[in-house]
Amino acid sequence: MKKIFGILMVAALAFTSCADDDLPYNPGEETGEVLLRQMVVTPASGQSITSQYTYDGDRITAVSHSNSTNESYSYATNGALTEVRYYEEGNLVRKSTFEYAASGAFNAVVHMYYDIANPANNHAERFTYAIAGQDITVVKYTGDEQSQTVEDQTFVLKVINNNITAITGDIEASYSFDFQASPLSNVADFGVMYLADLQGGINNVITATEEGVQTTANYQYTSDGYPAQATVTTAGQTYTVTYTY
């Protein structure tokens, strides 16, 4: 289900006006009136999952899901996204901490994973980002909550027209997009979060190949050009997704 959510929830990536060596955080530039309020994912067979979005202005503060999972968001005084916490049945299972250079440019994220049943399995992953034109080189390090120094993977994100269209290197994936606005393209800082999740863009994914798995998505749109409904097929499964703004 995570793959389905990732493909359908692609959001705006703030790559416009990038310096050669920076990924910018642009407070106040990712704003708009159309905000996603609810998403319902319904498999061909099985139970639907409903997600509800809570905002402060155009900043997401919380997302709650009907499968007893939820996320909470924290921001710095300058408005930059600093942390997202993920819960399952009230237990913290992941914490993502976002890091910025002195210039304000986003340059790293640390994902801390908590194993409730066996805390000895707790571990962390740190991703650093370096941009050169349309290519963003990402290096993954592993470790614990205090330190992540073991280099594990290196790969390159190809960014065209503000969409991640390919990943090459130790991770291989490719994506194609439509020309309509994604459901979260007006949400402040969601681009930073989805850059951290290694997929997304200002438009909607229509095809994806990840680890050999093919996914397709067909959309119906609102009069404003945002997805109203999508039919997604992946790994032999079909899902219907409805969006409310």
The pLDDT assigned to 245 comes to: 96
The pLDDT assigned to 82 comes to: 96
User: CB of 186 within 8 A of CB of 32?
Assistant: yes
Residue pLDDT, tens place only, 38-80: 999 999 988 999 999 999 999 999 999 999 999 999 999 999 9
- Burial environment of residue 164 by CB neighbours within 10 A (0 to 12, 13 to 18, 19 or more): buried
Query: In this predicted model, which residue has the larger pLDDT, 211 or 118?
Result: 118
Q: Give Rg (Cα) of the chain.
A: 17
Share of the chain above pLDDT 70, in %: 87
Please name the residues in contact with 136: beta carbons below 8 A apart, sequence gap of 6 or more. 23, 129, 130, 156, 157, 159, 195
Q: Does pLDDT of 213 surpass 60?
A: yes
The structure tokens listed for 13 are 């990536």
The structure tokens listed for 205 are 């994914």
- DSSP one-letter code for 119: G
Confidence of residue 201 (pLDDT cuts 50, 70, 90): confident
The structure tokens listed for 14 are 């703030």
The pLDDT assigned to 197 comes to: 85
Confidence of residue 19 (pLDDT cuts 50, 70, 90): very low
User: CB of 58 within 8 A of CB of 188?
Assistant: yes
The pLDDT assigned to 45 comes to: 87
Instruction: Compute the distance between CA of residue 45 and CA of residue 236 in angstroms, rounded to an integer.
Output: 12
Instruction: Compute the distance between CA of residue 126 and CA of residue 62 in angstroms, rounded to an integer.
Output: 23
Q: Where are the domains of the chain?
A: 2-244
Q: Does pLDDT of 226 surpass 80?
A: yes
Query: In this predicted model, which residue has the larger pLDDT, 139 or 189?
Result: 139
**178: nearest Cα among 228, 227, 112, 232:** 227
Residue pLDDT, tens place only, 143-163: 999 999 999 999 999 999 889
The pLDDT assigned to 31 comes to: 45
